[in-house]
Amino acid sequence: MHDGQSITTIEGLAAGENLHPVQTAFVERDGFQCGYCTSGQICSAIGMLAESRQGMPSYVTEDLMRAEAELTDVEIRERMSGNVCRCAAYPNIVAAIKQAAGIPT
Ligand code: FES
């Protein structure tokens, strides 16, 4: 399906010793416990932040006329809803995403 397209994995996010801002936020906000789901959570967070910036709505976006969806906790949870965390680190994952997006928590 993605023949000829560029795919970035968790290993390709950091620039040498410098973590991607979402990776840094996950560390600073304790966005993980065992780490089993963390690669997927971080990659999905980066993708959903990009989609939000491009104005793509989710099922819970209230104002479809806005150029960029307001990233409320509900909006973030919906956009991340395909990622299951058996440690239930969800509150910290939301906090990490908000920090990476520059939203006060
Ligand atoms: S941090 Fe353990 S499964 Fe998510």
Give dist(CA 6, CA 58) in Å, integer.
24
The CA–CA distances, whole Å, from 25 to 15, 64, 65, 100 equal 15, 28, 29, 6
pLDDT the model gives residue 65: 80
Residue 9: partners with Cβ closer than 8 Å, 6 or more residues away: 39, 43
Ligand 1 touching residue 36 (CB < 6 A): yes
Pocket test for ligand 1, best of 26, 27, 30, 38 (most atoms within 8 A of CB): 38
Contact present, 51 and 101 (Cβ < 8 Å):
no
Distance (angstroms) between ligand 1 centre and the Cα of 71 equals 23
CATH no. of 36-105? 1.10.150.120
Q: How far is the CA of 23 from the centre of ligand 1 (A)?
A: 15
Residue 70 is predicted with a pLDDT of: 86
What are the average pLDDT values for consecutive 10-residue runs of the chain, which has 105 residues?
95 96 98 97 97 92 82 96 95 98 90
